[in-house]
Amino acid sequence: MADYMKDRVEMGHPLNSEERDMFSAAFKNALTERRHAVRVAVSVEQQEEAEGREQNANLARGYRSKVEAELQGICDKALQLLKNSLVPSAESGEAKTFYLKMQGDYFRYMAEFASGHVRDNAANEARIAYGQGMEE
């Protein structure tokens, strides 16, 4: 569904309220299971390390890295559509606020699994988007 909504956004016409909800749900659904998988992988990795099973910890670490790359791709796709199409073309008010909140959410999701400078940057971008949404 996320690919369909990407195609719909790229048509260039503003999304109506129902389509905005579909856009949001499509990308959120693509993230939900993966975010949970990362949390489980981190837990397994820590437990396996604590119990001295480094090979199992490495497997969990590898799985986590793979899922984090998928998460990054989904976030990048959503943010590209939001920043380049949806936010700039939205009229002030409900639609623009909706998109800015979504933009903040996707930067926040990135901050959940990133580290170091990337995490700090994503958290800052989330703060900016949420702030702009509140001003709208």
Residue 80 lies in a domain: yes
Q: What is the mean pLDDT of residues 103-123?
A: 96
Tokens of 101: 């909140």
Helices (H) and strands (E) in the chain, counts: 6, 0
Do 9 and 85 contact (CB within 8 A), yes or no? yes
Domain region containing 117: 19-135
Residue 2 lies in a domain: no
Residue 75 lies in a domain: yes
Q: Is the pLDDT of residue 136 over 90?
A: no
pTM value? 0.91
How confident is the prediction for the chain on average, in pLDDT?
A: 96
Q: What is the mean pLDDT of residues 84-107?
A: 96
Q: What is the mean pLDDT of residues 110-121?
A: 95
Residue 3 lies in a domain: no
Q: What is the mean pLDDT of residues 122-132?
A: 98
Based on the structure, what is the number of domains in the chain? 1
Instruction: Characterize 55-67 residue by residue with b for buried, 16 or more Cβ atoms within 10 angstroms of its Cβ, and e for exposed.
Output: eebeebbebbeeb
Q: Is the pLDDT of residue 97 over 90?
A: yes
Residue 7 lies in a domain: no
pLDDT digits over 29-85, tens only? 999 999 999 999 999 999 999 999 999 999 999 999 999 999 999 999 999 999 999
Residue 9 lies in a domain: no
Q: What is the mean pLDDT of residues 22-32?
A: 96
Structure confidence at residue 101 (pLDDT)? 98
Residue 1 lies in a domain: no
Residue 30 lies in a domain: yes
Angle of helix 17-50 relative to helix 94-113, nearest 10 degrees, comes to 10
